[in-house]
Chains A and B, each alone.
Chain A
Amino acid sequence: MEKRVIIGKKEFSWKTFFLQWEWMLVLIFILVNVINANLSPYYLNADSLRDATMTFLDKAFIVLPMVFIIILGDIDISVASIVALSSVVMADLYTMGVPMELAVVICLAVGTLCGYVNGLLITRFKELSAVIVTLATMIIYRGIAYILLEDQAAGKFPEWFKFLGWGYVGSVPFILIVFAVFAVIFALLLHKTTFGRRVYAMGSNLTASQFSGIQVDKIKILVFTLAGLMSAVTALFLTSRMGSTRPNIATGYELDVIAMVVLGGISTSGGKGRMIGAILAIFLIGFLRYGLGLVNVPAQMLLVIIGLLLILAVMVPNLKGYLRKWVKI
């Protein structure tokens, strides 16, 4: 009888290794940097590049849990509103005399609670897609922020709070260090733990995962709660950087975040993608923005570019399918 060989691990081949989306991202990243350096002589400067990371890393904290959500096949468009609400609550409490340390903790708690409510609604009402639930909570959370602060701005935070957005440890921006720590934690969580494996399983087949004993609701709630918590972290850094907050803070962040995740090769149909892709995409879009900003490309033009980039990124895998079909015929 022939001996059966069960292949547990795919054989390593250089061809498949280099034909990955992540390498494509690295190439685009290099291309963006070369173009930027040619466009502006001020671009290639270690100090300014380092400081540029401080301007775009605030939203990167939401990208990390959003990778989980999109791998689950869901989407969360309420994150920007959670940023606004937790930031406004924090500022409101501080101006009412609550000590800043406590206000920061409450800010994180508010974000976590918002995320938990999202998760709870999505799992309790399975008929409703995550799109519509987070659409509703997106309006509600920002609505509450408007109720609290109306059209005012709140600020005048203590000196130490400014450190979050502006501080350096040695010569490295504080926000970069915090982001690196979180990125490692989330990457390990996704790729090295059973929790991460279960998220992938749920993304590729929810019913099968449920029948194989995964507590799908629990995991979904946890993932959405994480998104809420990280939105609150973003709120901390963003508020610290801006120095004050308004109810319309972080408008449009959900698009940036989703664009980064999708550009990072995480499939919107769920179950596919890696954390490293999303992290590369964060820096790609960040440096693209910074470089084009240096040569005075207007912000509205950037809006168009990011929007088109998002669509292009989603289209590429589909085009590959088309091409393959076409070549076969």
Chain B
Amino acid sequence: MPEYSLQKTSAGASIAKFRELGLLVFILLLCVGVQLRNPSFLTLENINDMVTNTAILSILAVGMMLVIVTRGIDLSIGATLALSGMISAMTVSAYPDTHPLLAILLGTAVGIVSGMIIGLLVSKAGILPIIATLGMMNAFRGMTFMVSGGKWVSAHQMPDSFKAIATSSIFGLNTLIVIAIVIYLIFFYFITYTRTGRQIYAVGSNPDSAKISGISNDKILWLVYTIMGGLSGLAGVLWVSKFASAQGDTASGYELSVIAACVLGGVSIAGGSGKISGIILGSILLGILNNALPLINVSPFWQMGIQGSIILIAVVINALVKRGVDKSNLMRRRI
């Protein structure tokens, strides 16, 4: 529904705000519930653990949000993550003197190249994002196995400096958390205050009018998938450093969790809307679920089913909320 007056925009915005508030309340209730069952949940140590575990997910969620805002989807990030993690892990195990920063840069570069390929396929060749990323997901996953020859890179092959990326801390915060916060700040500025950032939303909410108003849709799409690739590459290095092992099937299926975090955070699959604050809450909710379910003795085999149901419920609620907004907009027009 096109929005003609300022008033209507504010009505939509207030409901969106209510949505985030609802999510926050849900998270708090969940925390209280879990805490009553298991008092070790809200200890400083566990919270620190939980946030550290969520950091990688939330970094990926930023990129995924941008992709979904442009009406796309990226199923290849798990494979990109594995590829970049494997390449950087093999590099540091072959040259133990490599500076960790260099390893991070290498992984990110691998991710950026992968993302650029997908971006080209989506923007220039005009392939549906789901098909392009499904195909490249397999190509990258296969390449990971080929690069490694099917072998693992395990903890004792990695130098301590590399493993320290995930275990060290800056200002008392774990490095992973610091990196996630820096990325969130950068991207908050990028999508709120820069021209290119706003253009991403313009392309997502109406590609045709974006084109007419002089935005190069192809370039924006390409950029978005490249950013997604770069972030997955970075996440790959962090992942390998954190778990101290690189395998061919690292993070397989992780893309679903990332998409879940975005959808929970209110990023609309139809494109054009999604907020940084939303995906932070979405990632935290998923992180809490992953952390809390074992604490209250839910079998790990239930996790997948629960996660899927939550995604479904979230998208259905999103749809119903949007219906409500559209309806109230129509009512207002009649008056």
Contact = CB atoms under 8 A, between A and B. Distances in A.
Q: Do A and B come from one complex?
A: yes
Interface of A: 75, 77, 121, 125, 127-129, 131-133, 135-144, 146-147, 150-151, 252, 255, 258-259, 262, 268-269, 298, 300-304, 306-308, 310-311, 314-315, 318-319
Contacts of A147: 299, 301-302, 305
B131 A303 contact: no
A310 B75 CA distance: 15
B36 to A, nearest CB: 25
Interface stretch (B168-176, B201-209, B213-221, B308-316): B308-316
Contact of A127 (B125, B139, B309, B322): B322
B308 A140 contact: yes
B315 A132 contact: yes
A303 B139 contact: yes
Given A137-B312, A150-B301, A301-B146, A131 B130 contact: yes
Contacts of B311: 135-136, 139
Contacts of B312: 121, 133, 136-137, 140
Contacts of A307: 134-139, 142
Given A131-B73, A133-B315, A304 B131 contact: no
Q: Which of A255, A303, A315, A319 has the most CB of B within 10 A?
A: A303
Nearest to B323: A127
B197 to A, nearest CB: 24
Nearest to B268: A127
23 contacts: A77-B130, A125-B319, A128-B269, A132-B269, A132-B315, A136-B312, A139-B256, A139-B305, A143-B302, A143-B303, A143-B305, A147-B302, A147-B305, A255-B135, A298-B145, A303-B141, A304-B143, A307-B134, A307-B135, A307-B137, A310-B135, A314-B132, A315-B125
Contacts, number: 139
Nearest to A305: B142
A310 B304 contact: no
Contacts of A269: 128
Nearest to A314: B127
A133 B309 CA distance: 11
B305 A310 contact: no
B212 to A, nearest CB: 20
B146 A300 contact: yes
Nearest to B68: A132
A49 to B, nearest CB: 26
Given A139-B307, A307-B139, A318 B145 contact: no
Given A139-B256, A140-B312, A315 B307 contact: no
Interface of B: 73, 121, 125-128, 130-132, 134-139, 141-143, 145-146, 150, 248, 256, 259, 263, 269-270, 299, 301-309, 311-312, 315-316, 318-319, 322-323
B135 A259 contact: yes
Contacts of A143: 302-309
A255 B79 CA distance: 14
Contacts of B304: 139, 142-143, 146
A151 B301 CA distance: 8
A311 B130 contact: no
B298 to A, nearest CB: 11
Nearest to A269: B128
B64 to A, nearest CB: 13
Given A301-B146, A310-B131, A310-B135, A128 B301 contact: no
A140 B305 contact: yes
A132 B256 CA distance: 10
Contact of A146 (B131, B259, B305): B305
Nearest to A318: B126
Contact of B134 (A301, A304, A310): A310
B269 A129 contact: yes
A128 B319 contact: yes
A303 B309 contact: no
Contact of B131 (A137, A139, A252, A314): A314
Nearest to A256: B138
Nearest to B76: A307
B186 to A, nearest CB: 28
Contacts of A137: 308, 312
A308 B318 CA distance: 35
A251 to B, nearest CB: 9
Contacts of A140: 305, 308-309, 312
A268 B256 contact: no
Given A301-B142, A302-B142, A303-B141, A135 B127 contact: no
B305 A311 contact: no
Rank and list the top 6 A-B pairs by shortest CB-CB distance, nearest first. A143-B305, A139-B308, A307-B138, A303-B142, A143-B304, A300-B145
* Residue with the greatest number of chain B CB neighbours at <10 A, chosen from A136, A310, A318: A136
A298 B128 CA distance: 29
B134 A132 contact: no
Contacts of A310: 131, 134-135, 138
B208 to A, nearest CB: 16
A146 B269 contact: no
Given A131-B73, A315-B127, A306 B138 contact: yes
Contact of B305 (A75, A144, A300, A302): A144
B131 A262 contact: yes
A311 B319 contact: no
A255 B142 CA distance: 14
